[in-house]
Amino acid sequence: MAKKLNDWIETDVRPHRDKSIAWISQHHFFRDPMRPTYSDLRYFFSPADGIILYQREVGPDECIVEIKVRAYSLRDALRDPHA
């Protein structure tokens, strides 16, 4: 969930202000923060720290994303030929 900048500084930054850059990079570069898990079929939730930019309805064989010039369908994403 997003935090206000001042809240982030107080809760996440201030406790580490006396640490060296080496300590910060060793302890926070490869971080895997805990994230809440949501399950409500009425809403779309973005994974990790992403933002949903748009949404649209697609058919099972319609392209939903193209990666390195290969189109992937909903069936490809779900790995289910019957989806």
* Sequence ranges of the domains in the chain: 5-78
Cα dist. 61→2, 52, 54 in Å? 35, 22, 19
Helix locations, 3-70, DSSP H: 5-8, 21-28
- Answer whether residue 59 shows pLDDT above 80: yes
Average pLDDT of 3-12?
A: 83
Average pLDDT of 9-20?
A: 85
- Answer whether residue 83 shows pLDDT above 70: no
Query: The pTM is what?
Result: 0.37
Of the candidates 53, 35, 36, 31, the residue with the CA atom closest to the CA atom of residue 44 = 53
pLDDT computed for residue 62 by the predictor: 92
